[in-house]
Copies of this chain bind each other. A is one copy, B any other.
Amino acid sequence: MFGKKRTPEQLEKIRQRKLRIYDIVFENDTPEGKAFDVFLMICIVVSIFLVVAESTLHVDAVGAMILRILEYAFTAFFTIEYLLRLYCSPKPRDYALSFFGIIDLLATLPLYIAWLFGPARYLMIIRTFRLIRVFRIFKLFSFLDEGYALIHALMDSMKKISVFFLFVLIMVISIGTLMYMIEGNVPESSFNDIPSSIYWAIVTLTTVGYGDITPVTSAGRFLSALVMLLGYTTIAVPTGIVSANLIKTKDSPYKRVCENCGTTGHDPNAKYCKHCGTLLDVNPQDHD
């Protein structure tokens, strides 16, 4: 796009190289592509494991050194992977702005930001950027057709579920305030303010029931019992919504994924990705 002119032969060579890299980095139907996927998966899992393990162990100087070197290695690998994907993608911009593109970028950032700001306290927060890398595991869904049905049943239900959550929010604020009125002045009670009471209402309505905040008066326990029975009934609503959508999407054509940006949900007769315009695979129902 920029820089000196290239002969058609050079362009063709570049196109060929891009395609080869594309086959390795994005596809998994060649041995190289499969090997790359497996290696990437291992890197993701190990890097996550290291972050989790770091929080439990008190490492000595040598251990800290090893962890740092591994950190450098993973960051280097994830950076190269991101640049390759960007390079070989037919529409690099669409990849960069896609869900997986952002995840891939965020996976490389923590160490660079750490270098920028020095080994400060807040690095802990930066380090978690790597965890977002974990969502890469969604790529596994491309192997599992059921995964799409599941995610789309949830996605399709989103509007209904957000209405339901609005409804729950109103209930929870009302119930929390009511409880605060009843037990707010009882010394041995933990209902110290309305936010705590709303937190209690959510804990109760979702039947989690930690028991860190519990009513101590008869009136409070009576309201509690009503809230529990309410939660018992309302638990049916999202279940019903998702179940209905799950049955609906059973034979839906959600199995096609754009290989450039990972977008799904294309119409059965769509030939190009609706998000980035990449040519789609033929309908899997035709050659399955």
Q: Are B199 and A131 within 8 A (Cβ)?
A: no
Contact in complex: A242, B231 (CB < 8 Å): no
A150 sits at the interface (CB 8 A):
yes
- Mask, A203-219, CB within 8 Å of B = 1, is 11011111110100010
Provide the residues of chain B in CB contact with A237, threshold 8 Å.
150, 153-154, 242, 246
A229 to B202, CA, bound (A): 8
Interface size class of A (residues with CB under 8 A): 35 or more
A141 in the interface (beta carbon within 8 A): yes
Report if A92 contacts B (CB, 8 A): no
Which residues of B have CB within 8 Å of A132?
Answer: 174
- Contacts known (A150-B164, A181-B128); A236 close to B242, Cβ less than 8 A: yes
- How far does the Cβ of A143 sit from chain B's closest Cβ, in whole Å? 10
B-chain residues with CB within 8 Å of residue A51 when the two chains form the complex = 177, 194
| Cβ contacts A74-98/B at 8 Å (1 or 0 each) | 0000000000000000000000000
Write the chain B residue with the least CB distance to A169.
B137
Residues on the B chain within 8 Å of A117, using CB: none
Complex formed: what's the CA distance from A214 to B211 in Å? 9
Question: Closest CB of chain B to A23's CB: distance in Å?
Answer: 26
A238 interfacial contact with B, CB 8 Å: yes
How far apart sit A163 and B180, CA to CA, in the bound complex (Å)? 30
Asked whether A232 is an interface residue with its Cβ less than 8 Å from the other chain, the reply is yes
Query: From residue A173, how far is it (CB to closest CB) to chain B in Å?
Result: 6
Partner of A134, one of B159, B170, B236: B170
Name 10 interchain pairs, CB-CB below 8 A, sorted by A: A52-B198, A55-B193, A56-B194, A150-B163, A150-B167, A154-B233, A199-B225, A206-B228, A207-B208, A236-B240
Top 3 nearest A-B pairs (CB, nearest first) are: A208-B209, A236-B242, A210-B211
Kindly list 8 other residue pairs between chains A and B, CB separation below 8 angstroms, not including A151-B167, A196-B221, A240-B246: A132-B174, A141-B163, A146-B163, A147-B163, A150-B164, A207-B209, A235-B239, A240-B242
